[in-house]
Structure 1
Amino acid sequence: MADCVVDRHQPPTRLIRGPFPGGASHVDHSVTFLAIATITGFVLATVLLLVDQWQRLERVSFRLPGLLIAVAALVGQGALLYQLGFQTAPTALNLSVLNALATVFGLASAITVISAFRERLEGIAVVLLPVTALTVFLTVFVPESNVPIRTGEIALDAHILISLSAYALLTLAALQGVMLLIQHQALHGHHPAGWVRRLPPMESVEQLMFRFIVIGFLLLTLALVTGFLFLENILAQHLVHKTVLSVIAWVVFAVLLAGRHIAGWRGRTAVQWTLAGFILMGLAYFGTKIVLEWILNLE
């Protein structure tokens, strides 16, 4: 939904980032250095959090250092995405597939790390942080076409931010759902692995999953409303699949929340609906972007 308005006044360009043939400018070197530092921070934070979960000496905790390093890496990623996202033009945001993917996982990681200072979310963090590091690597070192979107309009800027935030929160809900399925399977297997026993109680995982779903659903609702109100080409032929899939995903999450409230849905049923909605959201946004930008080569 967030890339519905494309700046047609700018000719299609090929963005080469990082140490590719043809030389690298001063900006390229600074981006490369920042990317390497950011990736290193994510990896180090992941290692510290994993060690903290596995080590048995309770007096030695690597949790706080791991979270602080993750915060520093997220700041680096934010600076990196700002530098890459706005280099097309001062009033255009480059929201290509990889930039959007890095932004979504960056937001999801930021929410997780900030929440982990008071919630037990290390199990999610050790999954998200390496994936976020991978998206940073792909964003910087893989050449990709620019997809400039006109910015400067409050309504459009709000729509983009809300859309990406909604997907980030629903990504976290899906990860919580997968964690819940793993715990459920381990419980019925009667021999849970050691790392499973270190996860938060299933009830806490489920409550946090629905908390993410509720907030993500509200943001998705706002994204759809702002899209229909302020985007002129939301039902254009090349975007109708994105719009339809987003609406279907909204219906899935609405049914899930209604089922939770009315019938008390939980456990496997709730997780299955959560994953279904998440997959639809992924197809709506990244599926259509990949087809349009990588297969059909439409800017």
Structure 2
Amino acid sequence: MPALALSLFAITLYALASHQLATRPFGARPDSRTWLLPAVPAVVLHAALHLVAWRLLGGPDLHFFAAMSLVGLGMAALTTLLGPAQRIEALGIFVFPLASLVLAAYAVFGGGQPREDLGWPLKLHALLALLAYSTLAVATLIAIMLWFQERALRQRQLGAWQRILPPLTQVETLLFRSLGAAFALLSLTLLTGVVFVDDLFAQGLGHKTVLSILSWIVLALLLFGRWRWGWRGPRAAKLTLVAMALLLLAFFGSKYVYELVLQRA
């Protein structure tokens, strides 16, 4: 019951932070950061709930709803930490409700059962994977933001909502910085998987490994295309969405089938 109450409190704080961002007067100064007052404790509570659950279970809980909640936590933490400095706090309008949704699912449906310690190598691999998913998810939201912003500029349909966004060139720079970070984290995830996981193409991991590698290739192609041919705009956004879709299928698609459909760990 205390965990459920804390989850509801964190969800309420997320909703308040999102509401403050969505209703902030257009033209408000970028240094107006009252939304951080509910956002920071929401992220801290979200993280604390997982840490307590891990302690009770005797190790990290990476079952379907727990993993979804952890990715939502990562997205919320990145938005809270980087939003004020990079002027991408507008992402919180979408990230915080998403974090609330996955936290609610985790609170209602719970995580896994007590398990033996995985050891630090596999914990490191899992942590890098979750960070890669979170960073790429944030990059995907930025890509969608860039896509709509560029489309509005081309059609000269400049709505008031654009005032809360950074300039187009800054959004594009933030996108490729996020993609670079996601690519580095995914590279480390694959590397630690090769080093620490026994036979990545066995244990039902084959499709997961192949899809993750395909996502890595798409990101590598996008970053190379940006460096070599100056790829940008809709092309960059589309390839970002493809990379994210592949990674979602690799991790959460397989988890959904194994854990919720087949009822296997």
Question: Same-fold call, TM > 0.5?
Answer: yes
Partner of 1:231: 197
Q: Which runs of 5+ in 1 are unaligned?
A: 1-28
Question: Which digits, 9 at most, give the CA deviation of each residue in 1:22-53, with x for residues without a partner?
Answer: xxxxxxx110111111111101111111222x
Per the alignment, residue 12 of structure 2 pairs with 40
The CA deviation at 1:117 is: 2.2
Query: Are the aligned partners of 1:48 and 1:63 in contact in 2 as well (CA < 8 Å)?
Result: no
Provide the residue aligned with 1:70 in structure 2.
39
Candidates 129, 133, 141, aligned match of 2:100:
133
Residue 209 of structure 2, aligned match among 237, 243, 256: 243
Give yes or no for the alignment of 1:106 onto 2:78: no
Distance 1:135 1:193 in 2: 31
Measure the CA separation in 2 of the matches of 1:231 and 1:112: 31
| CA positional deviation for 1:192 | 2.2
In the other structure, the counterpart of 2:56 is 87
Query: In the TM superposition, what is the alpha-carbon distance from 1:188 to its structure 2 partner?
Result: 2.1
Q: How does 1:98-177 map to 2 (within 5 A)?
A: 98-143=65-110, 145-146=112-113, 148=115, 150-151=117-118, 153-177=119-143
Letter matched to residue 221 of structure 2? V
Q: Does 1:292 align with 2:258?
A: yes
Structure 2 stretches lacking a partner, 5+ long: none
Encode CA deviations 1:38-70: one digit per residue, 9 max, x unaligned: 111101111111222xx25848x9942211310
Contact conserved, 1:162 with 1:220, CA < 8 A, in 2?
A: yes
Task: Check if 1:180 corresponds to 2:146.
Answer: yes
From the superposition, tell whether residues 126 and 233 of structure 1 become closer, same or farther in structure 2 (CA, over 3 Å). same
Number of corresponding residues: 265
Indicate if the aligned counterparts of 2:17 and 2:36 stay in contact, CA closer than 8 A.
yes
Q: CA deviation at 1:298?
A: 1.0
- Partner deviation per Cα, 1:230-279 (whole Å, 9 max, x = no partner): 11142115111101100110111011111111111111111111111111
Letter in 1 for 2:9: A
Identity %: 33
Q: Alpha-carbon deviation of 1:85?
A: 3.4
- Equivalent AA in structure 1 for residue 23 of structure 2: V
- Please point out which of 223, 229, 249 is paired with 1:263: 229
Alignment of 1:6-45 (within 5 A): 29-45=1-17
Higher-Rg member (1/2)? 1
> Kindly tell me: are residues 280 and 58 of structure 1, through their superposed partners in 2, closer, same or farther at Cα, counting changes over 3 Å?
closer
Measured at CA, do residues 240 and 43 of structure 1 come closer, stay the same or move farther in structure 2, by a change above 3 Å?
same
Distance (Å, rounded) in 2 between the aligned partners of 1:74 and 1:35 = 11
CA-to-partner distance for each residue in 1:139-159, whole Å, 9 max, x for gaps?
0012555484733x2211211
Question: Aligned-pair distance for 1:195?
Answer: 0.6
3-state SS of 1:298 partner: coil
| Structure 1 residue 122 displacement after superposition | 1.9
CA shift in 2, pair 1:149/1:180, >3 Å? farther
Question: How far does the alpha carbon of each residue in 1:121-177 deviate from its partner, in whole angstroms, 9 at most, with x for none?
Answer: 1221110001101111110012555484733x2211211111100111111111000
Query: Would the aligned equivalents of 1:85 and 1:99 in 2 still touch at CA under 8 Å?
Result: no
SS at match of 2:104: helix
Aligned to 1:196: 162
Question: Structure 2 CA distance, aligned partners of 1:225 and 1:241?
Answer: 17
Kindly tell me: are residues 103 and 71 of structure 1, through their superposed partners in 2, closer, same or farther at Cα, counting changes over 3 Å? same
CA RMSD of aligned residues (A): 1.9
With normalisation by structure 2, the TM-score equals 0.94
The two structures have a TM-score, normalised by structure 1, of 0.84
How far off its partner does 1:196 sit? 2.4
Greater than 4 Å deviation, 4+ residue runs: 56-59
Deviation at 1:201, TM superposition (A): 1.1
- Of structures 1 and 2, the one scoring higher in RCO (CA 8 A, sep 6+) is 1
